[in-house]
């Protein structure tokens, strides 16, 4: 797309300088290739900022420049491997993945995850070096081998959450997220490859310990330099906290249950929504003129509106304005300056523009919804046999919807059409005057229409001959009433004697469903989510009795919302099942994977609290973040419990293994969590710092909540995994022992 758009723009520039096109003005209203280039720029900036934050975190925890630089090197190498893998998927596997908006967003999300496997591998290499006094080569081999299965399993659990998208490939969400999943999975596979190959190599060649003998004597598992005082005190207090939770296991269990219940309760309170944020900085407004207006009046109205907008062009950040109108009204297309130069969001500018429009009796201004813009519109369908009955029912339902909180501009498709004249023939009078309905209809159509009555032949083509009244003779309704129609006796009969003319606004279109006419009632909503709007509408319509043969249904927006909710539930359930199967094969146990799965409600608790406090709805893209979160949050628990199991297999008792496992895995868990969180900060910060980053709009506004979902869930799951997971592990281990005794007895 970028190459094609570039060629088109260059061709337009050539046309502009062509002397034959002098006086021709060409404007490019929308160039989607700019969004891709902007995303590439954002990816570079996010990578640089995220990389800088990752280096800071690594140095803070590892206290060694070489260690931090080696792990930081995993970021650019993994990104290059990701691009190479995506290229191979296109050339070898026939994949259609490209570097588009969706795939680049996936790479932005993956920036902070690229170092996670490398951190676990490098930390374990140094622990082997310092505790067992091995040389760097042997430590690199044994250390990477020990955690390789856990790292592979952790990566596999993250990758497997995108498998449900294969089953949803024909749905809107599946098609939309195909490239997103491929880019993240490619990045994770690349980071795993780098962690298990290059990181051990770099560690064996370039790392140095400040005083290995001292580290062995003190049984210190630091990397290179001693721990900072903060990490030292944090480790000491963390061990005391583990001892405390293990001593009061049942109290810890009650706290865990309360946390899960809280997560369930808050999720029920969250607003649910579909993605409605606008992509482009533009507004489309419909202007309805009164019936008394002629074409000149409408033209003067639009010229007045354009003058107001031109006078405040800089203040309103307007780049250009386009309009189209006829006698009954028209629409305005207002395009704003680019987001990098903007100071106000489109929603604020839209309200300011509406406040400037002249207040004229009979003139209405309303927003038009188009694909790619911020459209928050719902509709209800009424279906039945008779259109007149549907019209009466629609008026009643309009009143009910107007009483639903947050709904505004309630109208039907019967009101959105243009003015029309309904001709009703009095058959008895027409018969007395020697006229038929067919003759009257053809007479009116011939006078007002532009249908060709004959053709004029010339050498190479035919030209239509149209016959109709002069424009000045067909402007008013009284002129139509005074038209004469010839009867069977060749006498002229004034139409007003046999025909009634009624002027009214017709429907925008004649719509049918299941061979029955339908009336569509639309309304706009602003703050509340679709879930609350749906519940409010259902409550208002609960006591509404329809005649036999008539029914009402929620419109397409609600059906789409319900489909996406069902797809999300299916994706989450399938992802959890796949994660359980992977962990069951890793631990060779049915109990310990259930322990690890508790980290998912831990993460959802953080998401629910943050979105509830910020009063943000969970839209379909944010729910994709929940899917990604399921695969991420189990990684810390996998690394912790796998190490505890290794210690127990080495002969250590359960309590000591849990305490030592928590102590040794505290730092790598904190590092991987912080690197992922800080890697996502460039995506989320514009939500909270609009003064620094400017108004958050477009695709950045769509994807920022995904980063917020991952960050909020990862923070709570990391804390609760470190604090509560050791106790839950011991309790579930007791349950496993009890079940073995029961089944052995049976």
What integer pLDDT is reported at residue 417 of this predicted model?
62
Averaged pLDDT for residues 27-55: 70
pLDDT digits (tens, 9 = 90+) for 234-270: 888 889 998 999 888 889 889 888 888 888 888 888 8
Return the structure tokens found at 706: 């995904």
Q: What distances in angstroms separate CA 575 from CA 146, 180, 267, 304, 582, one per listed residue?
A: 27, 16, 19, 58, 11
The size of the chain, in residues, is: 746
Cα–Cα distance measured from residue 164 to residue 575, given in angstroms and rounded to the nearest whole number: 7
Cα–Cα distance measured from residue 241 to residue 245, given in angstroms and rounded to the nearest whole number: 6
Averaged pLDDT for residues 369-380: 62
What integer pLDDT is reported at residue 42 of this predicted model?
66
Place of tokens 């929620």: 554
Q: What angle do CA 568, 574, 579 make, to 5 degrees?
A: 120
Task: Give 281-371's CATH code, choosing from 3.40.47.10, 3.30.70.1430, 3.40.50.300, 3.20.20.140.
Answer: 3.30.70.1430
Please say whether the beta carbons of 125 and 201 come within 8 A.
no
For the domain spanning 31-269+561-745, the CATH number is 1.20.1640.10
Please say whether the beta carbons of 357 and 283 come within 8 A.
no
pLDDT digits (tens, 9 = 90+) for 306-323: 888 888 888 888 888 888
Averaged pLDDT for residues 324-349: 80
For residue 618, give the DSSP letter.
B
Please say whether the beta carbons of 664 and 221 come within 8 A.
yes
Return the structure tokens found at 309: 């907008």
Averaged pLDDT for residues 123-142: 81
Least confident span in 212-216, 492-496, 575-579, 585-589? 212-216
Confidence of residue 498 (pLDDT cuts 50, 70, 90): confident
Secondary structure class of 725 (helix, strand, coil): helix
The backbone torsions φ and ψ at residue 224, rounded to the nearest 5 degrees and listed phi first, read: 80, -85
Averaged pLDDT for residues 99-119: 78
Which has the closest alpha carbon to 602: 268, 272, 257?
257
Which has the closest alpha carbon to 199: 310, 365, 75, 27?
75
Q: Look at residue 43 and tell me whether its pLDDT is greater than 70.
A: no
Q: Look at residue 217 and tell me whether its pLDDT is greater than 60.
A: no
What integer pLDDT is reported at residue 176 of this predicted model?
62
Q: Look at residue 700 and tell me whether its pLDDT is greater than 70.
A: no
Confidence of residue 212 (pLDDT cuts 50, 70, 90): very low
H or E element, residue 499: strand 499-505
Place of tokens 């505004």: 408
Distance from first CA to last CA of the chain, Å, rounded? Answer: 67
pLDDT digits (tens, 9 = 90+) for 401-412: 888 877 877 888
Please provide the DSSP assignment of 280-339 as one string.
SSEEEEEEEPPTT--HHHHHHHHHHHHHHHHHTTTTTTEEEEEEEEETTEEEEEEEEPPG
Please provide the DSSP assignment of 371-387 as one string.
TTS---EEEEEEE-S-H
Return the structure tokens found at 177: 């997220």
Q: Look at residue 340 and tell me whether its pLDDT is greater than 50.
A: yes
Q: Look at residue 372 and tell me whether its pLDDT is greater than 50.
A: no
Cα–Cα distance measured from residue 77 to residue 282, given in angstroms and rounded to the nearest whole number: 40
For residue 227, give the DSSP letter.
P
Q: Look at residue 734 and tell me whether its pLDDT is greater than 70.
A: yes
What integer pLDDT is reported at residue 193 of this predicted model?
92
Confidence of residue 356 (pLDDT cuts 50, 70, 90): confident
% of the chain with per-residue pLDDT over 70: 86
H or E element, residue 110: helix 101-110
What integer pLDDT is reported at residue 218 of this predicted model?
43
Return the structure tokens found at 549: 């043969």
Please say whether the beta carbons of 329 and 508 come within 8 A.
no
Cα–Cα distance measured from residue 458 to residue 452, given in angstroms and rounded to the nearest whole number: 16
What integer pLDDT is reported at residue 509 of this predicted model?
64
Residues contacting residue 95 through CB under 8 Å, at least 6 positions apart: 86, 89, 182
Which has the closest alpha carbon to 114: 172, 178, 205, 189?
189
Confidence of residue 221 (pLDDT cuts 50, 70, 90): very low
326 DSSP β-pair partners: 329
The mean pLDDT value of the chain amounts to 79
Please say whether the beta carbons of 420 and 506 come within 8 A.
yes
Secondary structure class of 676 (helix, strand, coil): helix
> Residue 634: is it exposed, middle or buried by C-beta count within 10 angstroms (0-12/13-18/19+)?
buried
Q: What distances in angstroms separate CA 112 from CA 57, 447, 680, 689, one per listed residue?
A: 11, 72, 6, 21
Confidence of residue 324 (pLDDT cuts 50, 70, 90): confident
For the domain spanning 419-505, the CATH number is 3.30.2090.10
Neighbours of 361 (CB within 10 A): 6
């Amino acid at each position: 797309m970028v190459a094609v758009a570039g060629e088109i723009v260059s061709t337009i520039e050539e046309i502009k300088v062509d002397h034959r096109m002098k006086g021709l003005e060409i404007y490019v209203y929308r160039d989607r290739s700019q969004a891709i280039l902007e995303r590439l720029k954002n990816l570079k900036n996010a990578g640089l900022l995220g990389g800088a934050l990752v280096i800071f975190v690594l140095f803070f925890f590892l206290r060694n420049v070489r260690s931090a630089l080696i792990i930081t090197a995993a970021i650019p190498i993994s990104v290059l491997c990701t691009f190479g893998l995506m290229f191979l998927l296109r050339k070898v596997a026939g994949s259609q993945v490209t570097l588009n908006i969706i795939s680049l967003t996936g790479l932005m999300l993956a920036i902070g995850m690229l170092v996670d496997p490398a951190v676990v591998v490098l930390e374990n290499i140094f622990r082997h070096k310092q505790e067992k006094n091995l040389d760097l080569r042997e430590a690199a081999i044994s250390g990477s081998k020990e955690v390789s299965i856990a790292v592979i399993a952790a990566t596999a659990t993250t990758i497997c959450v995108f498998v449900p998208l294969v089953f949803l490939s024909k749905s809107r969400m599946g098609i939309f997220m195909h490239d997103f999943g491929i880019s993240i999975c490619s990045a994770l596979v690349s980071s795993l490859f780098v962690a298990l190959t290059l990181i051990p190599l770099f560690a064996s060649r370039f790392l140095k310990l400040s005083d290995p003998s001292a580290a062995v004597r003190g049984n210190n598992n630091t990397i290179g330099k001693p721990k900072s005082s903060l990490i030292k005190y944090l480790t000491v207090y963390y061990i005391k906290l583990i001892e405390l939770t293990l001593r009061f296991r049942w109290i810890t269990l009650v706290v865990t249950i309360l946390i899960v219940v809280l997560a369930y309760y808050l999720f029920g309170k969250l607003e649910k929504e579909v993605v409605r944020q606008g992509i482009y900085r533009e507004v489309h407004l419909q202007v309805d003129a009164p019936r008394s207006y002629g074409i000149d009046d409408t033209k003067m109205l639009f010229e007045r509106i354009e003058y107001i907008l031109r006078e405040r062009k800089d203040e309103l950040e307007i780049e250009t304005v386009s309009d189209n109108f006829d006698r009954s009204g028209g629409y305005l297309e207002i395009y704003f300056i680019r987001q990098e130069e903007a100071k106000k969001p489109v929603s604020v500018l839209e309200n300011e523009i509406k406040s400037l429009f002249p207040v004229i009796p009979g003139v209405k201004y309303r927003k038009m919804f188009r694909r790619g813009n911020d459209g928050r519109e719902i509709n209800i369908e009424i279906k039945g046999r008779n259109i007149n009955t549907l019209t009466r029912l629609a008026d009643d339902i309009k009143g009910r919807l107007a009483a639903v909180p947050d709904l505004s501009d309630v109208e039907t498709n019967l009101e959105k059409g243009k003015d029309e004249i309904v001709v009703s023939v009095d058959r008895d009078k027409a018969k007395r005057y020697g006229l038929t309905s067919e003759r009257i209809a053809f007479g009116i159509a011939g006078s007002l229409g532009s249908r060709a009555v004959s053709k004029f032949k010339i050498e190479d083509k035919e030209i239509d001959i149209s016959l109709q009244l002069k424009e000045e003779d067909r402007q008013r309704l009284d002129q139509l009433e005074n038209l004469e129609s010839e009867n069977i006796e060749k006498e002229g009969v004034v139409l007003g004697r046999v025909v009634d003319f009624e002027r009214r606004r017709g429907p925008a279109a004649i719509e049918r469903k299941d061979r029955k006419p339908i009336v569509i009632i639309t309304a706009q909503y602003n703050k509340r989510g679709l879930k609350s709007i749906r519940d409010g509408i259902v409550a208002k319509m609960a006591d509404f009795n329809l005649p036999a043969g008539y029914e009402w249904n929620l419109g397409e927006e609600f059906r789409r919302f319900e489909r996406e909710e069902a797809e999300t539930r299916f994706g989450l359930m399938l992802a959890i099942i796949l994660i359980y199967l992977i962990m069951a094969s890793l631990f060779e146990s049915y109990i310990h994977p259930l322990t690890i799965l508790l980290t998912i409600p831990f993460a959802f608790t953080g998401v629910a609290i943050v979105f509830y406090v910020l009063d943000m709805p969970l839209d379909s893209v944010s729910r994709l973040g929940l899917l990604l979160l399921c695969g991420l949050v189990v990684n810390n628990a996998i690394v912790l419990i796998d190490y505890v199991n290794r210690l127990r297999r080495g002969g250590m008792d359960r309590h000591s293994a849990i305490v030592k496992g928590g102590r040794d895995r505290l730092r790598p868990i904190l590092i991987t969590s912080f690197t992922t969180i800080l890697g996502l900060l460039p995506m989320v910060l514009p939500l909270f710092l609009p003064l620094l980053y400017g108004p958050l709009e477009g695709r950045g506004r769509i994807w920022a909540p995904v980063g917020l979902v991952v960050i909020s869930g990862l923070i709570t799951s990391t804390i609760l995994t470190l604090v509560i997971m050791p106790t839950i592990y011991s309790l579930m281990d007791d349950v496993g022992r009890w079940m073995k005794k029961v089944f052995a007895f049976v």
